[in-house]
Structure 1
Amino acid sequence: MSHSLPDLSQALLQAATRAGADSADVLARQGTSVSIDVRGGTLEQAERSEGFEIGLRVLIGKRQACVSGSDARGEGLAMMAERAVAMAREAPEDQWIGLAEPEQLATRRDAAGLEMYDPAGEPSPEAMKEAAIRTEEVALAQKGISQVSTASAAYGESEVYLAASNGFEGGYRRSSHSLACVAIAGTGAAMERDHDSDFRIFASDMRSAEEIGERAARRAVERMGATAPKTGTYPVLFDERVAASLIGHLLSAANGMAVARGSSFLRNALGETVLPEGLSLTEDPLRPRGTSSRPFDAEGLQTAPRDIVRDGVLTGWTVDLATARKLGVSPSANAARGLTSPPSPTNWNIELTPGSASQAELISQMGTGLLVTSMIGSTINPDTGDYSRGASGFWIENGQIARPVNECTIAGNLRDMLGRIIPANDARPWASMRVPSLLVEGMTLAGN
């Protein structure tokens, strides 16, 4: 059953005021999700869900509380409001919390022009099943593949609406299509697995089932016979599939909450060089068809493109309103929130300046080293940036891929690593994080 999110949001705000809240905001969401899994050419599992949820945050002075529910009846909304107000009265004070001032609010209240919703609508279960089956068939047809553990298709659509007692009201719709395959090569203890997938807003942008199945199978076969590399200090090339994790560590360290807690290796680095000269890290929440695009943040502030790092220099923190007040900086319109949690800062649609060389050209420049295609586990010290992760991929000798490797650990310090990255030019233009393969010289590698 579809609900009028604007009407329900206003009704819940009014209930919060009657219950004694000084101010409040409401996040309402409803949507549909469908998933199809196949195995052996037949349907293994099909799931469909439709749901409605609404979350309320109330503020009483400098105290706040959040509750959520799925009861759209008037009495259900009243009970939510009363419960939230009772909780807020017992909550600890936080001098930094508060809604946005009216002059801070976004004038844009919808997602027009951002292409966040596919008007083609929900695909048929038959079409999704056929795509998953075709992905599995193509993977199994590749030499060396013994089985496909996952072949799945999924679709989701949602409507989100935000309303607050400061006068903000706005909403948008979002859709997603995905297709994934996990292939296994070999048998017994010699088995290796790898995957490929695609995730888009528009079905017409999706890569073909044949391409996804073939790539998952090829990656799995290429991993067969992997051995541990030698221990030493070598250049490490992070494949495009995993390179975004390095930039993710930089984003985490530039997050205002980590800075405010003092648990960031970049806490004193504002205005300092954190990437090589010439490299910038930009955020664009208004990118058309971007999977993390949004016209306004979870506090009703207008989102806009910005530089996090410009020409190698860290230019600002990622903050919500409360964190901005605590750090004494301007808000960056990066607030996100769940239905049962207050706002917190996060990033949308990140892009790192690409390099001029292809991944193959960087490999040829490496001499001897490691190409990392997957990682497991992590030991990251957020205070110092000390970095250690399990890795697997391919050993490079004389500038060429020599053999697959696994069971090794790569280590370094993130501040040093980020300061000497060399980017390739292979970032996926549709990804929410456009980060190409990254070469880091002189990392410690522990193998055999």
Structure 2
Amino acid sequence: MTQLADLAQRVLDAANAAGADAADTLIAKGTSVSIEVREGALEHAERSEGIDLGLRVLMGARQACVSISDDSATSIAMMAERAVAMAKEAPEDPTCGLAEPDQLAQNWDVDALELFDGGEAPKAEELQQMAIEAEAAALAVDGVSKVQASGSGFSDTSLFLAATNGFQGGYRRGSYSTSCVAISGEGLTMERDYHGEARSHLTDLPSATEIGRLAGERAVERAGATRPPTGAYPVLFDERIAASLVGHLAGAVNGSAIVRGASYLKDSLGEQVLPKGMSLIENPSRPRVAGSRPFDGEGLPVAERAIVKDGILQGWTLDLATARKLGMESTGNASRGVSSPPSPSTGNLTLTQGDQSREDLIAMMGTGLVITSMIGSTINPNTGDYSRGAAGFWVENGEVIGPVNECTVAGNLLDILKNITPANDARQHLSRVVPSLLVEGLTIAGA
């Protein structure tokens, strides 16, 4: 990190020389490799190495952001001059600005987060072999006609944030992944499904054979899909897609939406938004998890917090600007890229699990729909009206009788979230730990 720290100081020095009142810089340096195969042969290979420098300058109550991909002294100076010129013309925003020194994170333990395993980057040939193994495992499943895509990848990214308020900090993040998309049937009867896994430590990544096999089995299960009946039925959101419901809740409590008044939960602070006994916890310090980080995008400390506790909404997700607009304190949730100013965002989320299995909830349904994949989205952020295309399995008398597709499920998120019944099948390694969720009485538009 020493090299990035020196580079960050050069950027801040250039901003000062250009006349900025204050500034911060985010530097991202990384390497990524992705491999795709088809029919046992290399289909696509991509490798990228580079560095991106982002600079935000503040001129009084005005701010501007500029980014470059060249760390030469000339380019850095030009970036700083351009950013200052842009800030002078920007509209005033009295809530923009850096954190006060006493707000900054002071101590953190990057090693405890285990975001990088310290191993050597896998060779392209090794990634190719993983992709080939996944493809072969999928094709070995009886009923799979072809594999649409099979790939594996690796990324190694170092991030460094520095500001004229004295903050400096950085960390390194790694990711290994393998995925496979399998197809069953031929012509108009083709159905596809997938499976993919990603980990920060290579030793945690499931085998390529396991990933490909599961993708193949899922595709075969989809064979012969028909449209379900139209009506109001219970719906089980499979664990694979249940996190999308929590994502809608997280978006509705985002400070940016609250400031704009564009949230169906804008008047729900302190009100029930989930069933009693259920909580939604954010924890940015979970080891080996993609959403973990030692500090936020403005250098503020991060900490575990309850967004919802015992069903009651506890607070908004805020960065410094949205907190100032609302007369509140930042929750340490600033996130940013090299070319944009900070904005609030959630990371690792965990929803309270139930004590029943997915199969138990299916048995409880009687007649209804298990959703395993979704497409499209029509969601009104002001009212919570919800409508999405879906596919999955039809249930009768508490048992799955066959696959279904080409249907739409609709309801209102205020009612949906208050009436969820969780299973106990959430995967703990994900950034969003959300189990399968049973919802009563959604409207299904099918045959």
Common fold, TM-score beyond 0.5?
yes
User: How big is each residue's C-alpha offset from its partner over 1:392-419, in whole Å with a ceiling of 9 and x where there is no partner?
Assistant: 1000000000111111110000000000
- 8 Å CA contact retained: 1:280, 1:308: yes
Alignment of 1:7-406 (within 5 A): 7-108=6-107, 111-406=110-405
How far apart are the structure 2 equivalents of 1:163 and 1:109? Answer: 15
How far apart are the structure 1 equivalents of 2:134 and 2:336? Answer: 36
In structure 1, the residue corresponding to 2:393 is in which secondary structure?
Answer: strand
How far apart are the structure 2 equivalents of 1:70 and 1:420? Answer: 48
Structure 1: which amino acid aligns with 2:175?
S
The number of residue pairs the alignment matches comes to 447
User: How big is each residue's C-alpha offset from its partner over 1:323-357, in whole Å with a ceiling of 9 and x where there is no partner?
Assistant: 00001111100000111110000011100000000
Structure 2: which amino acid aligns with 1:138?
A
Moved more, 69-78 or 212-221: 69-78
User: How big is each residue's C-alpha offset from its partner over 1:345-393, in whole Å with a ceiling of 9 and x where there is no partner?
Assistant: 0011100000000100100010000000001101100000000011110
How far apart are the structure 2 equivalents of 1:120 and 1:112? Answer: 14
Structure 2: which amino acid aligns with 1:30?
K
- 8 Å CA contact retained: 1:200, 1:206: yes
User: How big is each residue's C-alpha offset from its partner over 1:215-234, in whole Å with a ceiling of 9 and x where there is no partner?
Assistant: 10111111111111111110
Structure 1: which amino acid aligns with 2:384?
G
- 8 Å CA contact retained: 1:181, 1:195: yes
How far apart are the structure 1 equivalents of 2:170 and 2:141? Answer: 46
User: How big is each residue's C-alpha offset from its partner over 1:295-342, in whole Å with a ceiling of 9 and x where there is no partner?
Assistant: 000100001110000010000100100000001111100000111110
1:110 CA displacement:
5.5
How far apart are the structure 1 equivalents of 2:440 and 2:403? Answer: 20
Structure 2: which amino acid aligns with 1:398?
N
How far apart are the structure 1 equivalents of 2:131 and 2:245? Answer: 32
In structure 2, the residue corresponding to 1:396 is in which secondary structure?
Answer: strand
Map of 1:436 onto structure 2: 435
How far apart are the structure 2 equivalents of 1:75 and 1:253? Answer: 43
In structure 1, the residue corresponding to 2:113 is in which secondary structure?
Answer: coil
Structure 1: which amino acid aligns with 2:48?
S
In structure 1, the residue corresponding to 2:195 is in which secondary structure?
Answer: strand
Structure 2: which amino acid aligns with 1:125?
A
1:5 CA displacement:
1.0
Structure 2: which amino acid aligns with 1:244?
A
How far apart are the structure 1 equivalents of 2:109 and 2:164? Answer: 18
In structure 1, the residue corresponding to 2:112 is in which secondary structure?
Answer: coil
Q: 1:269 to 1:411 in 2, by over 3 A?
A: same
1:74 CA displacement:
1.4
How far apart are the structure 2 equivalents of 1:109 and 1:172? Answer: 11
How far apart are the structure 1 equivalents of 2:107 and 2:239? Answer: 34
Moved more, 70-79 or 259-268: 70-79
How far apart are the structure 1 equivalents of 2:287 and 2:120? Answer: 18
Structure 2: which amino acid aligns with 1:18?
A
How far apart are the structure 1 equivalents of 2:341 and 2:109? Answer: 22
Q: CA RMSD in A?
A: 1.0
1:121 CA displacement:
2.6
How far apart are the structure 2 equivalents of 1:149 and 1:405? Answer: 21
TM-score by structure 1 length? 0.99
User: How big is each residue's C-alpha offset from its partner over 1:265-315, in whole Å with a ceiling of 9 and x where there is no partner?
Assistant: 000100000000000000000011111100000100001110000010000
Structure 1: which amino acid aligns with 2:281?
T
Q: Which runs of 5+ in 1 are unaligned?
A: none
Structure 2: which amino acid aligns with 1:33?
S
How far apart are the structure 2 equivalents of 1:321 and 1:110? Answer: 23
1:72 CA displacement:
1.2
Structure 2: which amino acid aligns with 1:228?
R
1:108 CA displacement:
2.5
How far apart are the structure 1 equivalents of 2:46 and 2:391? Answer: 34
1:141 CA displacement:
1.0
How far apart are the structure 2 equivalents of 1:211 and 1:399? Answer: 29
1:112 CA displacement:
2.3
Q: Which runs of 5+ in 2 are unaligned?
A: none
1:109 CA displacement:
5.2
How far apart are the structure 2 equivalents of 1:435 and 1:228? Answer: 27
In structure 2, the residue corresponding to 1:373 is in which secondary structure?
Answer: strand
In structure 2, the residue corresponding to 1:403 is in which secondary structure?
Answer: strand
How far apart are the structure 2 equivalents of 1:152 and 1:71? Answer: 30
* Superposition misfits of 4+ residues, deviation over 6 angstroms: none
- 8 Å CA contact retained: 1:109, 1:169: no
1:42 CA displacement:
1.3
User: How big is each residue's C-alpha offset from its partner over 1:238-265, in whole Å with a ceiling of 9 and x where there is no partner?
Assistant: 0001100001000000001001100000
In structure 2, the residue corresponding to 1:174 is in which secondary structure?
Answer: strand
Alignment partner of 1:4 is 2:3: yes
How far apart are the structure 1 equivalents of 2:410 and 2:209? Answer: 37
1:3 CA displacement:
8.8
Structure 2: which amino acid aligns with 1:328?
G
TM-score by structure 2 length? 0.99
How far apart are the structure 2 equivalents of 1:397 and 1:119? Answer: 50
User: How big is each residue's C-alpha offset from its partner over 1:119-167, in whole Å with a ceiling of 9 and x where there is no partner?
Assistant: 1131122221111111101110111111101110000001000000000
- 8 Å CA contact retained: 1:109, 1:170: no
How far apart are the structure 1 equivalents of 2:400 and 2:70? Answer: 58
How far apart are the structure 1 equivalents of 2:41 and 2:74? Answer: 46
Structure 1: which amino acid aligns with 2:241?
V
How far apart are the structure 2 equivalents of 1:249 and 1:225? Answer: 32
In structure 2, the residue corresponding to 1:412 is in which secondary structure?
Answer: strand
How far apart are the structure 2 equivalents of 1:70 and 1:5? Answer: 14
Structure 1: which amino acid aligns with 2:96?
I
